[in-house]
Structures are given as structure tokens and as C-alpha cells.
Amino acid sequence: MEGGLRERLLLVGLNHRTAPVEVRERFALEKKGTHPLDILRQELPQASEAYFLSTCNRVEFLLVTEEVEETLAGLKDLLARETGLSRAQFEPHLYVLRDMEAVRHLFRVAAGLDSMVLGEPQILGQVKEAYREAARRRTTGPILNRLLHRTFSVAKRVRTETGIGSYAVSVSYAAVELAKKIFGSLRGKKALLVGAGEMAELAAQHLLSAGVEKMLVANRTFSRAVELAERFRGEAYSLEELPECLLEADIVISSTGAPGYVITRETVKPLLRKRRLRPLFLIDIAVPRDIEPAVNELENVYVFDIDDLKQVVEENLGRRRKEARRADRIIEEEVLKFERWLRELEVYPTIKALREKAEEIRRREMARTLPRLRNLSPEDQEALEVMTEAIVNKLLHAPILYLKMGYHRMGREAITTVRRVFDLDGDLENLSPEWREILSAGASEKD
């Protein structure tokens, strides 16, 4: 037997790039009765540790096992049974990663580098939740505990040391970022929603959470305005009252279905002086456009249409991709660190065995010698104990150092050498009688 760690990491999963939604939805196993981690513990005992992540864009299993191939096959069988798909139907969509590949993948996922929207932050929360779930079901052990905690700090490091999350990559969020660049803080500002629509409502939501104090809603059908106003705890107006609304608002989001301009230069110009030249930021996400482009020429008035915002998003995505390359360098560094830790874990049992063997010999020899030495005071006995312990420790110092350092250079070979030289696995004791004869002959020759 060879010493060291035989547990290996196995990551099996699929995501938005590898699998269509028809397959992904079948894999949302946690929503179908028994939790997949419970199933694994029951039916796949080869996996000593397990973690399961499921989001709308990915499903991943991370397992620690000594029998990689067997576990993989077992997992696939379980997946076929639980998803109701044949192996041929899902296997092409699966990715299977081992050891450091798996570690790297986990780090990248948690840092948002593998997400559909590059660098999005929600995934870290989902990874944390998945870990909590696994810890609660007691399917994690020393390796996954360590790995997941590393993952959280790697994701945090990527977020603080790169700008991966600092550029808005959705139209509604880009609008809020722009508003901040005009008004500084949005606290106490008033926003006006003209018309409705998913993107407009999302932007309104973002504005409110950025500190906008009051929401005005103007709509062609007044009942719809009232409904929206209630949702945002704002005030409802009809479209005829638009000039009054514009007088009050600082930020306008327009998304009506009107065929022509709803807000023209003529609407806004007379309001400027009454507004005391307060800046006015208009966001036009309607197609065809709601706001006449010439409004942008008015003093302290800024108009952005959907194409402007999309361009901002596009540029920001480019910046995030650049930051992602820096993030990958950080991750490479962290993968190496984890690998080192894992290797030290592999060396550890050998060190322990070495110490135990030495201690056993020391005790045996002490027990044999002490009764023969009479007239020993307790102090003398104590001194002997200390001396023999010191001899053992000093002798072991070099091989342990050799294990720790040599492991980084030579890997398992260092462990094997030490185990053989010190006969930690008892191979020499179980030798065939002839061999023992030859060996002891050699020994007596030396005597």
C-alpha cells in the first residue's frame, strides 16, 4: 500500500452553455421531492463528501471520492433515474472535471466568471447557500469544507482586486449609473415614469433602491398609472399632466407605445427657467422613440435613448472581459495554493505513521531496559525519557522535512521512499521466509 491521500475531487455538471433549458430544467432535482444530497448519501457511498449547486443556469455536483470512475458511473446512473432522461440524452451536455480542474472551475463559478452575465454577483450567494445546504445535511467533510471556504475568499478577492463587478451591464442599471454621474447622489431626487414596460419598471426599481425619494407615474390609461403608482408608492398622473410632472421630476424614464414623440423640445424648453435650471436626465427606452433628440441640446438637460444605453452596456462588457483576464490570473494563483494544501494533506498520514512507529519502538526499548537498571531515581527515569524522545525527534526531523519539501518536487515518490525506508506499511515483516533469511544473513555478515 502507498501512503498519502487517495481522495480525489470530481465535479460533474451542466450549464447554460452546454445544455439547453429542456435538459437543465430536468436537472433541477432539489425541487422534486428528495434532495439530491440525501439520495447521494443513501445510494452512492463511494462519495465521502458531496456538494450540490442548482441555479437557473447551472447544476453541479462536487464529490470527494477514492474511486473516481466507479463514482462517476454511479452518479450518471442516478442522474438518469432521477431526471427521467436516458444517459445518451444528457451525457453530451455534461462536463466532468477532476482535481485541480474542478477546483479552478468552482473558483471561476463563484467569482462570476462562468456566468451568463460576466461578473454578476448573485452566484456567490447561491454557492454559499448550496454549501450551507450541504453542511446542514452533513455531506461535507474536511476537504470540501476547506475548499468552499477558500472559494468564498477567492471570489471576494477577485471582486476587490479587479473591476469585474464595477461596470453596469444591463440597460436599466446603466441608466442608474448614468444618473449618478449627473446628480451625484440620487437621495431626495424625484423620478417620473412615462408609460410602462418591463425594462422601465426594472429601472424604476433600481432608482428607488439607489435612493430616489418619489416616483411619479404618467400613463395614457390612467387606471394603469394608478396601478403602477401603487406598486412604487408614487403618484399617478394622466399623460395630459406631463408638463407639471416634468417640472417636478429630475429623472424621466419613458417607454410608451406612442408612434411619435411624447416629449418634445417645445414641451421642455419653457420649463427650464421654472425648474431653475435643475439638471434633467431623460432616458428613452421606447422604440419608436418618445423623446425628441433635440431635447438633448437644451441647457442642463441630458437625453439617452436605448441605443446609447446599449452602447454603454456593450463597452462595459468589454471592460469586464478585460477584468476577467486579470481575475483568471488570481484564480490560477489560488488553485496552486489549494493544491499545495491538498498535497500537505497527503503527506500528513505518512508523517503521523512515522512518528507513531518511532514512538512505539522507543517505548518498547524503554520498557525492556528500565527494569534492568536498578537504583534509578524518578529524576533519572525522567531524564532518560527526555533523552530518548530527543533522539527520536532529531532522527525524524530530516525525513519529515524531506517529505514536506520533497513532496512539492517529486510528488508521491517522496512518500513512497519514506514509507519503504521506514517500512511503515509492514511489507518487510511479511516477507517470504527465504527473503528474510537472505536479509538477516546480510545483516549478520556486517556484525
Nearer to another protein (CB atom), residue 52 or residue 304: 304
Q: Give me the least distance between CB of 168 and another protein, in Å please.
A: 11
Nearer to another protein (CB atom), residue 178 or residue 199: 178
Q: Which 3 state secondary structure label does DSSP give 60? A: strand
- Residues that bind another protein in the complex, under the rule CB under 8 A: 178, 180-185, 273, 275-279, 296, 299-300, 302, 304, 308, 311-312, 315
Rounded distance, CA 83 to CA 43, Å?
16
Nearer to another protein (CB atom), residue 47 or residue 313: 313
Residue 52, C-alpha cell as written in the block: 450540490
Residue 122 known to bind ligand: yes
Residue 184 known to bind ligand: no
Residue 126 known to bind ligand: yes
Residue 89 known to bind ligand: no
Residue pair 282/252 in contact by the 8 Å Cβ criterion: yes
Q: Give me the least distance between CB of 180 and another protein, in Å please.
A: 6
Q: Give me the least distance between CB of 307 and another protein, in Å please.
A: 9
| 56 catalytic residue (yes or no) | yes
Nearer to another protein (CB atom), residue 224 or residue 278: 278
- Closest alpha carbon to 125 in 96, 151, 87: 151
Catalytic one among 21, 56, 405, 438? Answer: 56
Residue 200 known to bind ligand: yes
Residue pair 282/291 in contact by the 8 Å Cβ criterion: yes
Tell me the C-alpha to C-alpha distance, in Å, between residue 333 and each of 111, 119, 345, 365.
14, 19, 19, 48
Residue 229 known to bind ligand: no
Q: Which 3 state secondary structure label does DSSP give 33? A: coil
**How many other CB atoms are found less than 10 A from the CB of residue 327?**
27
Q: Cell match 416629449: residue?
A: 263
Residue pair 319/231 in contact by the 8 Å Cβ criterion: no
Nearer to another protein (CB atom), residue 225 or residue 268: 268
Looking at 108-264, which runs of residues are DSSP E strands? 190-194, 214-219, 235-238, 251-254
Instruction: Provide DSSP, 295-343.
Output: GGGSTTEEEEEHHHHHHHHHHHHHHHHHHHHHHHHHHHHHHHHHHHHHH
- Closest alpha carbon to 415 in 348, 358, 336, 342: 348
Q: Give me the least distance between CB of 29 and another protein, in Å please.
A: 44
Tell me the C-alpha to C-alpha distance, in Å, between residue 114 and each of 28, 96, 106, 289, 439.
19, 15, 9, 35, 59
Rounded distance, CA 162 to CA 170, Å?
19
Round to the nearest angstrom and report the end-to-end CA distance of the chain.
Answer: 32
Q: Give me the least distance between CB of 28 and another protein, in Å please.
A: 39
Q: Give me the least distance between CB of 314 and another protein, in Å please.
A: 11
Residue 50 known to bind ligand: no
Residue 264 known to bind ligand: no
Nearer to another protein (CB atom), residue 69 or residue 315: 315
- Where is the binding site for substrate, in residues? 55-58, 115, 120-122, 126
- Where is the binding site, in residues? 55-58, 115, 120-122, 126, 195-200
- Where is the binding site for NADP(+), in residues? 195-200
Residues with catalytic annotation?
Answer: 56
